[in-house]
Amino acid sequence: MRNYFWKNVLPYARYLASRYVPLKWLRYFLVDRVNAFIIGLMRIIMRASDTAAGDQLIRFPPSGGNTKYCFSLWAFPEHMFPQMTRDYFDFCARYYKEHGYRCNMLNVGYRIIQDDSSLFSYSYDGIVMTVDPVATGDDGWQDFLKAYNEFCSQRGGRPLFNQTRWLTPEQARRAFGSKLDLFNEIRRRYDPADRMLNEYFAGFFAPSPAALRAVRDGEERPGPAAPSHAG
């Protein structure tokens, strides 16, 4: 039931509201009523002492059509989550007041166990909670993400490179610090000509001396792979 609503009912209802209800106060009134119904449904029917992660897996079609939705995410140390939730609510209310946009789907969050196997793991230093806006990609979503990124970055959050759209080099540096330099040293050692560095990640990592010499000498560099990110 959870997966059916999340995959089909909720995004389609938001698509209809965004397309056919031009009055924002009425549109979001309807969105809030559906949200309240879903939350009530989960509290009454979907109650359990624990959950099985496998039951939350959803197989999405290659093309979402009218049921597609977008998301982004930043992660914060677990102990910060109560305050982050309050701050995020205030941020969303303020953004809507100033710009007339708010997410048209329920936002979500996940508890992620510590994982220090990757330099860019957002739970490298301990357990984290994520703060994930979700929407159908309606008008205003992309600008909201840029403001959301800066809001999270200023509070010490960590992004996920391929699921945090509009991430800037400055925000990545603030989140990962010297890990960026360490990774770049390793990358240069094993890929001195930057053959595996696509356009997206080239914005975060300085090119290697060998690659710069190749460009200067007129050598052709392989075309970049398509970047992957949410939103």
For the beta carbon of residue 93, count every other beta carbon within 10 angstroms: 11
Instruction: Quote the mean pLDDT of the chain.
Output: 87
* Ranges 19-28, 33-42, 143-152, most confident: 143-152
Q: What is the pLDDT of residues 205-216, one digit of tens each?
A: 877 776 666 656
Helix (H) or strand (E) holding 40: helix 24-44
Q: Is the pLDDT of residue 65 over 90?
A: no
Q: What is the pLDDT of residue 60?
A: 74
Q: What is the pLDDT of residue 90?
A: 97
Rounded CA gap, 38 and 28, in Å?
Answer: 15
Q: Is the pLDDT of residue 42 over 90?
A: no
Q: What is the pLDDT of residues 162-193, one digit of tens each?
A: 899 999 999 999 999 999 999 999 999 999 88
Q: Is the pLDDT of residue 142 over 70?
A: yes
Query: What is the pLDDT averaged over residues 81-106?
Result: 95
Query: What is the pLDDT averaged over residues 121-127?
Result: 95
3-state SS, residue 83: helix
Rounded CA gap, 100 and 102, in Å?
Answer: 7
Q: Is the pLDDT of residue 49 over 80?
A: no
Q: Is the pLDDT of residue 27 over 80?
A: yes
Distances from the Cα of 221 to the Cαs of 52, 55, 200, 226, 230, in angstroms?
Answer: 46, 45, 15, 15, 27
Rounded CA gap, 147 and 91, in Å?
Answer: 9
Q: What is the pLDDT of residue 212?
A: 63
Query: What is the pLDDT averaged over residues 12-39?
Result: 89
| Distant-in-sequence, close-in-space partners of 228: CB < 8 Å, separation ≥ 6 | 162, 200
Please identify which residue in the block is written with the tokens 């031009």: 22
Whether the CB-CB separation of 126 and 77 falls below 8 Å is answered with yes
pLDDT range class, residue 231, cuts 50, 70, 90? low
Helix (H) or strand (E) holding 10: helix 10-20
Whether the CB-CB separation of 149 and 133 falls below 8 Å is answered with no
Stronger pLDDT, 187 or 50, i.e. the higher one: 187
Nearest to 167 by CA among 128, 121, 204, 123: 204
